[in-house]
Structures are given as C-alpha cells and as structure tokens.
Amino acid sequence: MRIAILSANPNLYSTQRLLEATNQRGHEGVLINHLNCQVMIEGGKPTVLYEGQELDSFDAIVPRIGASVTDYGCAVVRQFEMMNVFTTGKSQAIMRSRNKLRSLQVLSKAGVGLPKTIFANHPKNGDVTQLIKLVGGPPVVIKLLEGTQGIGVVLAETTKAAKSTIEAFYGLKKHVLVQEFVAEAKGSDIRAFVVGGRVVGAIKRQGLEGEFRSNIHRGGNAVTVTLTPDEEQTAVAAARALGLKVAGVDMLPSDRGPLVLEVNSSPGLEGIEKATGIDIATEVIAYIEEKIRTDEGDTVGV
C-alpha cells in the first residue's frame, strides 16, 4: 500500500514514527506537507496537486493537521475523501473535535462524563459572577475556544481574578469557556490513545508542582497507567461520539467518575510511546491494514 502522512513538520517525532511503522510493515510511506497541496475542483474529477503536480494515487492517508491550519488541512483531507482514499481521520470529525464548544456539546449529548462548563456571549459584570457560581467556583478554569497544549487555559482562584481574566479575553475579542475546577484530580489527567474503537495505550500525566495543567508540553511528566473499565469505556465512547478512529482522549479522575476534557484528533506519540513502551505508530498502521482488508476484501482503497 501507499500511505501518505499529512504533516507540515517532517522532523516531528510522531511524523517520523508513523513513516517508520509504515515502511517496516512493507508499505510505501510518503510524507506530504498538506500546506503545499492544492485542491483542484472540477466536475467528476476531484484532484490533489502537490507543489503544482498531480499526486499519484494513495491507498490511505494519516492526517496530522495542526490546530492553526485546521481549515486548510481539512479541505485537503476532504479532497482525499472525495477521491475515495481511506483516512484515519475524517475531515468533519477533525473539525468537530477542534471546536471546543461543539465537541463538548456532542459529548454531552452522547452521555459522556464532562466537567460542568458554561459558554455565554459577552456577559455583564453581574452575569460573570453568576456564571462562576453555576460551575461551582471559585476556583474556576477559563479556556480559550481555540487554545491548544495548555495555552489559553487559566486557573482563576477567586471571583475577582476570574472576572479580570474573562474581561481581558473579551477585550481581545476572544470567546471563552468557564469550567469547574476538579480539585480531586490534583493536577493530573489521563491520556487514553484510541485506535479503531479500542484503547491501545494510556498514561497518567502529572503537572509540575503548583501547576494545574498536566500537559507534557508544559513540563508535566507521564507514567503508564492501567485504565479502569469506566475510564476505558469513557475514552472509547468519546472518540466514537466525535467520529474519530484515531484519537487521544484526555480525562480527569473525579469523585463522580472520569470526566473528558478534550478529544485530540492528532495526538502526539512521543509521550505515550516513551512512557508505555507500546508501539502506537504500528497500531495505527495495523488498523489501516485491517480496515482496507475488511472493507474491500483484500483490495486496497475504500
């Protein structure tokens, strides 16, 4: 098979590992920078050009679309879908997961456990106090809708601090979510890596002392963890609800069960592979093999 890894950064650990796993399993792995792709639209013949040249056919793609280029990246993924190329991440599912509000709404409808969260149009000063009360604060967590890797996430210890932070974000014309602070998590969360409807690996991430964000990019550390049945079911249900076949599901342990913080459509491999010793990249490629074999009876394509 010819499998394209869509990534704007060839030096990323995740990109390199996916290419390595593809080639080790006897396939041809090709790195494609989706930002250098052009989408040719004409009746009956959807085409993807790469640096001005029509791409040869691929059997599958693995999208690694950065948050800052979601719209363009998903347009390229959508074009491959129109060309009947199998993808580990549908464009609509990626778009849905990237919108924090939309993803929480979808997860809520699916009955997945979530921290209590409020979204409102620019509230007046008195309304801010009411929003904070509704999520059980203070303290409360304030999140930018478009933040990633812990950026744009603030813990406000007091009502006054929350008001100031919300006003500052609104002053920058940014929309925010106000979310309950789950104290019993103690600065930790769980990342479950889901491939094809099953958890293939999981880690517990612990933030630095005094840091409530556990992201590895923020200096947190990770250790392997065995999920409870409830945690495993929650992770699988969250990925399924958003339509993601490959996903990193971030959950907070709480007194009322696992609460999903976010579902990542392009989860990094480095932290989880190094902490668990599990070859996650190969799990992704094996999933592609299984889906193409099952869907097409030993032929490639979908």
Give the chain's domains with CATH numbers.
2-89 (3.40.50.20), 108-113+184-264 (3.30.470.20), 117-181 (3.30.1490.20)
Question: Residue 301: its pLDDT value, please?
Answer: 35
The DSSP element (H or E) to which 97 belongs, if any, is helix 91-98
Q: What is the reported pLDDT for 216?
A: 47
Burial label, 39 (beta-carbon count in 10 A; 0-12, 13-18, 19+): middle
* Predicted pLDDT of residue 205: 86
Rounded Cα distance, 5 and 166, in Å: 39
**Can you tell me the distance from the alpha carbon of 234 to that of 113, in angstroms, rounded to the nearest whole number?**
7
CA–CA dist 279, 195 (Å, integer): 12
Put the strands of the sheet holding 259-264 in their side by side order.
221-224, 198-206, 188-195, 246-252, 259-264
Look at the alpha carbons of 190, 257, 198, 28 in this order and tell me if their dihedral is positive or negative.
negative
* Long-range Cβ contacts of 18-25 (<8 Å, 24+ apart): 18/62, 18/64, 18/269, 18/281, 18/284, 18/285, 20/281, 21/279, 21/281, 21/282, 21/284, 21/285, 22/285, 24/282, 25/282, 25/285, 25/286, 25/289
Q: Is residue 270 a contact partner of residue 18, using CB atoms and an 8 Å limit? A: no
Picking from 13, 52, 55, the residue whose alpha carbon sits closest to that of residue 32 is 55
State the pLDDT at residue 211.
Answer: 52
pLDDT of residue 135: 86
Provide the CB-side half-sphere exposure for 85 (13 A, CA): 28
How many CA atoms lie less than 13 Å away from 95 in the CB half-sphere? 11
Q: Tell me the chain's radius of gyration from C-alpha atoms.
A: 20
- Burial of residue 82, with CB atoms counted within 10 A of its CB: 0-12 exposed, 13-18 middle, 19 or more buried: middle
How much is the pLDDT for 172? 77
- What is the model's pLDDT at position 300? 36
Q: What is the pLDDT along the chain (302 residues), one digit of tens a residue?
A: 999 999 999 999 999 999 999 999 999 999 999 999 999 988 778 999 998 899 988 999 999 999 889 999 999 999 999 999 999 999 999 999 998 899 999 999 999 999 999 887 765 555 778 888 888 878 899 888 765 555 678 888 888 888 888 888 877 777 788 889 988 888 789 999 999 999 999 999 876 555 555 454 444 678 999 999 999 999 999 999 999 999 999 999 999 999 999 999 999 999 999 999 999 999 999 999 999 988 753 333 33
Yes or no: say if 222 and 216 are a contact pair by the CB < 8 Å rule: yes
